[in-house]
Amino acid sequence: VTPAEAAERLLQGDLRALSRAITFLENEPAAAASILRRIYPTAGSAQVIGITGPPGAGKSTLVDRLITLYRERGLQVAAIAVDPSSPFSGGAILGDRIRMMRSADDPKVFIRSMATRGWLGGLGRATADAADVLDAYGYDVILIETIGVGQDEIEVARLAPVTVLVLTPASGDEVQALKAGIMEVANIFVVNKSDSPGADRFVSFLQQLFTLTDAPAQALPVVKTEAVRGEGVEAVAEAVEERFRSQPSDASFLPWQRRKVERRLQLILQDGLLRQLYTRPGGIEPWVERVLSREIDPYTAAEEVLAAGVTG
C-alpha cells in the first residue's frame, strides 16, 4: 500500500488503512504530505483535545474517563498517547498503559501511541497530522495525551485546538517550572487527585495566578477532579465544550485557530527548508569548512547559504 492508497482507503472506512496511514506520517514527511493532501478537506469536524501535564498527574486516567463519557454520549473516540523520548517518561510506554484500560475492546474507540524518529518539530507535526487523519476517518473526539515537559511535547500541546493541563495539589512546586512553557498553551486547568490534601488551596492558587498574570483577559477554567473515581470528569468535558462553543461554528478566521494553523505551517516550512538545505548538492559542507578556518563567520555563512538557495 502506498500512502496515497492508504489515505483513499481510510476515507472508505478501512481501519487497517487508517493505522497504516498514521504509521506512514509518523515516519516520513513526504508520505504525510500525500496523505494530508487527500484527507485534509474531509477533516475539520472533530473535537481535538490535548491532555497534558507532569508525569503521573493522572492524564491517562482522565483520558480513560473521558473516553467512557464520550462513548456514553454515542460519540466515536480516538486517543493518541505520545510516547516521549524524554527522560521524564519513567520508561513506561504510554500507549500500552492506555491500551490496558476499559475501552480497549470497544470497536468505536481507537487507541494508539505515537513516536517520531527525532526530526525537528516532528512530534508536533505528526500528532497534528494524525488528528486530521482520525478526524477525516470519522472520529468525533480525538484525545492526545502528552507529558507537558520538553519542547517537543509542548509543541504537541500548542497545536491541539484545546489543551487541558492536568496538575495535582502536589504540583505546586512544578508550576513555577512548568510556567515557562506549558502554562501558556493551556486553555483549561484540571486539579486532579482532589482526594489528596491541599486541592482547594491549589485551585484558589491557580485562579489567583490568572488574575495576576496579564496574559489571558478571560479567566481560564479551573476544574477539580478525582479521575480514578470519575469525579469532575463531566465538568472537564463541559469546559471543553464551552471552549469550542465560545467560537462561532465557522471559525476559520478566529485568532486562536489562525495561530495554530500558522504554527503548523511554520513547523512544516522549518523542517522542509532544513531538509532541503542539507540535501542540496554539496550540502553545507563548504561553508562549514570556511567557518572552521575562520575565513568567514557563521552568520555570514548562513546568509550565503540562504542566498545560494536550496537548489543550487
Ligand X SMILES: Nc1nc2c(ncn2[C@@H]2O[C@H](COP(=O)(O)OP(=O)(O)OP(=O)(O)O)[C@@H](O)[C@H]2O)c(=O)[nH]1
Give me the residues that bind ligand X (CB under 6 A), please.
Answer: 53, 55-61, 90, 94, 147, 192-193, 195-196, 226-228
100: which DSSP letter? T
| Cα distances (angstroms) measured from residue 187 to each of 115, 141, 219, 250 | 24, 17, 10, 20
CA distance 237 to 203: 18
- Report, in Å, the least distance between residue 120 CB and ligand X: 24
- Closer by beta carbon to ligand X, 56 or else 138: 56
- Report, in Å, the least distance between residue 304 CB and ligand X: 45
Q: Which residue has the cell 561553508?
A: 287
- Closer by beta carbon to ligand X, 90 or else 216: 90
- Closer by beta carbon to Mg ion, 63 or else 126: 63
- Closer by beta carbon to Mg ion, 98 or else 223: 98
Q: Which does 20 bind (CB under 5 to 8 A by kind): Mg ion, ligand X, none?
A: none
- What would the grid cell of residue 274 be? 532544513
**DSSP per-residue codes, 72-94:** HTT--EEEEEE---SGGGTT--H
Q: Which does 226 bind (CB under 5 to 8 A by kind): ligand X, Mg ion, none?
A: ligand X
Rule CB under 5 A: is residue 194 a binding residue for Mg ion? no
Residues between 81 and 100 that touch Mg ion (CB under 5 A): 94
Rule CB under 5 A: is residue 60 a binding residue for Mg ion? yes
**DSSP per-residue codes, 240-304:** HHHHHHTS-S--TT-HHHHHHHHHHHHHHHHHHHHHHHHHSTTTTHHHHHHHHTTSS-HHHHHHH
Cβ proximity of 132 and 38 under 8 Å: no
Q: Which does 58 bind (CB under 5 to 8 A by kind): Mg ion, ligand X, none?
A: ligand X
- Report, in Å, the least distance between residue 56 CB and Mg ion: 8
- Closer by beta carbon to Mg ion, 130 or else 166: 166
Residues between 103 and 142 that touch Mg ion (CB under 5 A): none
Those residues with Cβ within 8 angstroms of residue 233's Cβ, 6 or more apart along the chain or in another chain: 62, 65, 66, 69, 225, 227
Residues that bind Mg ion (CB under 5 A): 59-60, 94
